[in-house]
Amino acid sequence: MNDDIEEMGPVDYLVVEFPGTRLTGEAFPLLIDLVDKGLIRILDLRFVQKDADGTVTALEIEGLDQDDAGAVSLSVFDGASSDLLDQDDLDEAGNALDPGNAAAILVYENRWAAPFARALRRAGAQMVASGRIPVQAILASLDAEEAGEGG
């Protein structure tokens, strides 16, 4: 197992909130495409819902509602679990949700970055910080910069 970890790319997670438990399915074919192209490997994909009283419950894939138009069957993701996520992780993800909404929690390996990560590890380097800048923050910064230049 340790050898496999040494070969891995960086691992990230996403928590994506959906209104209610309705999923359009529009993004799932794109996720499958990323896997098929070898860019990512799904380690875990779980779904949770936050009830009106704040209780967070795990949802089974087959129990999720999907819009019919263009939806891919979520059964393709059934069994996508390496057991990295436990109940504490699901509860923490649920804390970010509005009551009545559901979320997909995706843990994935960035396979495209694996050769780079292996080279860094061989050189003795280690990740000491990481982050993500939301697109909305970039747009707001660009808008503020543009407004400043116009004045």
Reported as a single tens digit per residue, the pLDDT across 52-78 is 999 998 887 665 555 543 445 666 666
Average pLDDT of span 91-98: 92
Q: What is the pLDDT of residue 129?
A: 87
Range of the domain at 85: 2-112
Model confidence pLDDT, tens digit, residues 27-37: 888 999 999 99
Total structural domains within the chain: 1
- Note whether residue 102 is domain-resident: yes
Q: Is residue 145 part of a domain?
A: no
Q: Is residue 129 part of a domain?
A: no
Q: Can you tell me the distance from the alpha carbon of 56 to that of 48, in angstroms, rounded to the nearest whole number?
A: 7
Residue 48 lies in a domain: yes
Residue 143 lies in a domain: no
Residue 42 covered by a domain: yes
